[in-house]
Amino acid sequence: MYILIINSGSSSIKYQLFPRDSDQPVCSGLVERIGQDNSQVTHEIFRADVAQTLKLDQRVKDHETGMQLLAGLLTRKDIAVIADPAQIGTVGHRVVHGGETLTEPTIITADVKAKIKALYPLAPLHNPGHIKGIEVAEKLFPTATQIAVFDTAFHQTLPEKAFRYAIPDKFYREDGIRVYGFHGISHQYVAGAAMTWLKNPVAKLITIHLGNGCSMAAVSGGRCIDTSMGLTPLDGLVMGTRSGAIDPSVLLYLQQQKGYTAEQLTKLLNKQSGMLALTGHNDMRDISRLYHENDPAAKLAYELYTYRIKKFIGAYTAALNGLDALVFTAGVGENDALARELVCRDMEVFGIHIDIAKNQLREKGLRDLSAGGSSARVLVVPTNEELAIARVCRTLVAEGHPNLESS
C-alpha cells in the first residue's frame, strides 16, 4: 500500500508517492504554472536509485485538470508505479488555512470539508483548490483514507502579543480575526533540519520560505514565536501575485474614491499585485532573466522584494534576541542566488556574511553559504512538505484514529 501526498499551491501541484513504511518516494512530480498557457508537468520515477524524468508541456487550465493528469501518470502503462488506484491506501493533503478549529492533522469528513470551505474568504487562492483536490482525490482513489494537514498548525505557538491585532476585542472573540500564519509545514520541516545540522536544539532561526507565496518565521528552539503572514496569506512579504503588507488606507481610498468593490479589491491584492504588478511577470525565473538584462522594472522589483525580507530579518532578530541562522527554502529560496545575495547584502550588523562564490553554486541538499566571520549561518535547506505530511499520515494511521474505522 502507498501514501500519496498532494501539495496544492496557488499556481502549482506538487506530489509524491511513498510506500507506507518508507521515507523514500517511488515517484514525485510538479504541475506548475497552472492556468497559464506555458504550464509544465515534471514527473520523476525512482527505481533502484535511478531517476527517470518525464516532462510534458501542455496547458493545465485548473487544479482539477492537474489532479487528473497526475493520477493518470501513476498508472500509465509505460511508466506505471502502481497497477491499480486501490493500492493507494492514504491520500494526505496540505491545506493552507485551518482557522482556530482545525489545528491538528485530521481525517477528512464532510464536516472537515465544510470547515475548510468556510475559510475560503481567508485563503481565496488556496482553500478552494484544496477542496477541489480533495474531491477529485475522493473520486480517483475511492478506497483511500483522505487526511488533511494544516499549514496554520505550526504557528499555534505564537504568543498572544504576536497574534492579536489592535482592534476591538470582539473581532477576535466573535470572529476569530487574528494572525494565523502559513507555510507552517515547510517552516517546521526546515527549522528541524537546521537545528539538527547545527547540533543546537535551542537555535534561534529565521526561516524564509520564498516561492510564488512568501513568508518568514521566527523560530526559537523549534517553536514559532512570530510569522509574516496574518489572518490570510496576503500579509507580509511581496509575492508572485500578492501585494504583501499595505497601508489599509490604500484600500479605503480605492473603495471610497475610485469605486472599487470588495471583490475587485480581493482580486487586485491577491492576483494582480506583487511581482506581477511590478514587472508583468510572476515567475522569478522570468524576472531574474530580465534583471540580468538590466530591465529597470525587474531591478526595482528585486530591490523591493528583498528589502521587505531584510526588514523582517531585523525585526525577528530583535524578537529572538539573537540569531543563529537564516534558513532559505522553497523554489525561489533554494534556487535564486540573486535573491539570497541581495537579502544578505549589507547585513553585517546582524552577523550575516554570505559567501558570494558558494551562493552561485547549483548544489542540492542542505548547504552552508556563510562566509568566514559570519556569526549567523546562512543556510539553504530544501523543504520537503510532502515527506513531512507523509510522516504525519503514517503516524495517524498507525495510531488507529477513530475515524479510520469507517475507511
Q: Is 178 annotated as a binding residue?
A: no
Contact in structure between 292 and 303 (CB atoms under 8 Å) = no
Strands, DSSP E only, in 108-188? 145-150
Chain CA centroid to CA 283, Å:
15
Please, which pLDDT band fits residue 201 given cuts at 50, 70 and 90? very high
Q: Is 347 annotated as a binding residue?
A: no
Residue 407 pLDDT exceeds 50: no
Q: Is 284 annotated as a binding residue?
A: yes
Residue 405 pLDDT exceeds 60: no
Per the annotation, the verdict on 151 as an active-site residue is yes
Average pLDDT (97-114) is 93
pLDDT digits (tens, 9 = 90+) for 361-395: 999 999 999 999 899 999 999 999 899 999 999 98
Report the mean per-residue pLDDT for the chain. 93
Please, which pLDDT band fits residue 342 given cuts at 50, 70 and 90? very high
Domains and CATH numbers, the chain: 2-150 (3.30.420.40), 200-380 (3.30.420.40)
pLDDT digits (tens, 9 = 90+) for 174-186: 989 999 999 999 9
- The pLDDT value given to residue 309: 98
Q: Is 254 annotated as a binding residue?
A: no
Contact in structure between 301 and 279 (CB atoms under 8 Å) = yes
Q: Is 341 annotated as a binding residue?
A: no
Residue 401 pLDDT exceeds 60: no
- The pLDDT value given to residue 400: 65
- The pLDDT value given to residue 132: 85
Q: Which tops the pLDDT comparison, 194 or 119?
A: 194
pLDDT digits (tens, 9 = 90+) for 318-341: 999 999 999 999 999 999 999 999
Q: Is 332 annotated as a binding residue?
A: yes
What 3-state DSSP class applies to 219?
A: strand
Q: Give every CB contact of residue 115 below 8 A, 6+ residues apart in sequence.
A: 98, 99, 101, 102
What is the grid cell recorded at 72? 493518470
Average pLDDT (51-76) is 90
Residue 302 pLDDT exceeds 50: yes
Q: What angle do CA 287, 42, 141 make, to 5 degrees?
A: 130
Average pLDDT (73-86) is 91
Q: Name the catalytic one among 49, 78, 151, 247.
A: 151
